[in-house]
Amino acid sequence: MIHSTAIVDPQAEIDKDVEIGPYSIVNAHVSIGSGTVIGPHVTIDPYVEIGQNCKIFQYASIGAVPQAVRFKGEVTYLKIGRNTIVREFVTLNRGTGFGGGVTDIGEDNFLMAYCHVAHDCKTGKGVIMANNATLAGHIIIGDYATIGGLVGIHQFVRIGDYAYIGAKSAVGKDIPPYVIASGDRAVLYGLNKVGLQRHGFSPNTMAALKKAYRTLFRIGLTINEAVERVLAEADNIPEVLHLVDFIKSTRRGITR
């Protein structure tokens, strides 16, 4: 159902059971999947793809041009995965030609009120961003990561899978998978034990990650020394190997 006051461009591709609320604007080159609900006063700019069963609340700004001085009007995109919830006043920007061209919001994300996702960011599956969490450009958020309220994350930072960032943190370096980080500037506070348990991590995996965490961050080794020791003791546990691979591939440095 499309409300009579909504403005929908004829070139937009809208599945027949999509709901669009009063005074919302849907521009050309937009596709919206089955079961999605667009609330009142939402603006969806061109070159946006919204998956199935999403819910976008009032006053959200979806797909505006990026806030990047190097952007010159090139055609770029915003993609939103299915089952994602976008709350009030969230702003999601398109990508840039120099940054890959796509801002990609994953499936089953929950973006609370006033969040901002800038150009060329990518979020994994099941990401939660609490109120006023903000992502600068080119950030990668791993699966099932949680970003607390009022968190600011620097450009090009990566947040690992199942990581948890406490409220009011400023993040300038990569946050490894499976950990808790908090503070200005953010530092590590151990494994995200509650989150890992909720997602069904086995006691054996949890113990292996705890041992690897201690070696990497708590006994005074350099990163290279710690990585070598962890690999020697990893016993081919996939999560430990993933943690080490994440650390080895950092460009901005690892939060410790």
Mean pLDDT over each residue of the chain, to the nearest integer = 97
90's CB contacts (< 8 A; 6+ apart) are 57, 60, 61, 111, 112, 113, 114, 115, 116, 117
What distance in Å separates the CA atoms of residue 33 and residue 53, rounded to the nearest whole number?
Answer: 7
What distance in Å separates the CA atoms of residue 35 and residue 25, rounded to the nearest whole number?
Answer: 18
Q: What is the DSSP annotation of 175-202?
A: BPTTEEEETTTTEEEEE-HHHHHHTT--
What predicted TM-score, i.e. pTM, was given to this entire model? 0.96
**Is residue 242 among the annotated active site residues?**
no
What are 19's two structure tokens? 């709901």
**Is residue 104 among the annotated active site residues?**
no
Give the rounded percent of residues in the chain with a pLDDT score beyond 90.
98
Examine the pLDDT at 98 and tell me if it is beyond 90: yes
What confidence tens digit (pLDDT) does each residue in 196-212 have?
Answer: 999 999 999 999 999 99
Read off the pLDDT of each residue in 108-125 and give the average, rounded to a whole number: 98
Examine the pLDDT at 165 and tell me if it is beyond 90: yes
Residue 152 phi/psi, 5-degree rounding, is -115, 130
Examine the pLDDT at 234 and tell me if it is beyond 90: no
Is residue 138 a contact partner of residue 234, using CB atoms and an 8 Å limit?
A: no
pLDDT at residue 245 in the model = 97
Query: Which residue in the list 33, 63, 95, 137 is annotated as catalytic?
Result: 137
Examine the pLDDT at 5 and tell me if it is beyond 90: yes
**Is residue 174 among the annotated active site residues?**
no
**Which residue, 145, 74, 140, 77, is CA-closest to 109?**
145
Give the rounded percent of residues in the chain with a pLDDT score beyond 70.
100
Query: Which residue in the list 104, 120, 143, 161 is annotated as catalytic?
Result: 120
Is residue 111 a contact partner of residue 94, using CB atoms and an 8 Å limit?
A: no
What are 132's two structure tokens? 């006023």
Q: What are the structural domains, with CATH classification, of the chain?
A: 7-138 (2.160.10.10), 196-248 (1.20.1180.10)
What distance in Å separates the CA atoms of residue 83 and residue 153, rounded to the nearest whole number?
Answer: 24
What confidence tens digit (pLDDT) does each residue in 16-68 have?
Answer: 999 999 999 999 999 999 999 999 999 999 999 999 999 999 999 999 999 99
What confidence tens digit (pLDDT) does each residue in 175-189 have?
Answer: 999 999 999 999 999
Query: Which residue in the list 45, 119, 126, 160 is annotated as catalytic?
Result: 119
When comparing pLDDT for 233 and 187, which is higher?
187
How many CB atoms sit inside 10 A of residue 165's CB?
Answer: 28
pLDDT at residue 155 in the model = 98
Instruction: Give the SS3 label for residue 227.
Output: helix
Is residue 146 a contact partner of residue 225, using CB atoms and an 8 Å limit?
A: no
Going by their DSSP bridges, the two strands 179-182 and 187-191 should be labelled as antiparallel
Is residue 53 a contact partner of residue 65, using CB atoms and an 8 Å limit?
A: no
Is residue 101 a contact partner of residue 108, using CB atoms and an 8 Å limit?
A: no
Question: What value does the CA radius of gyration of the chain take, rounded to a whole number of Å?
Answer: 20
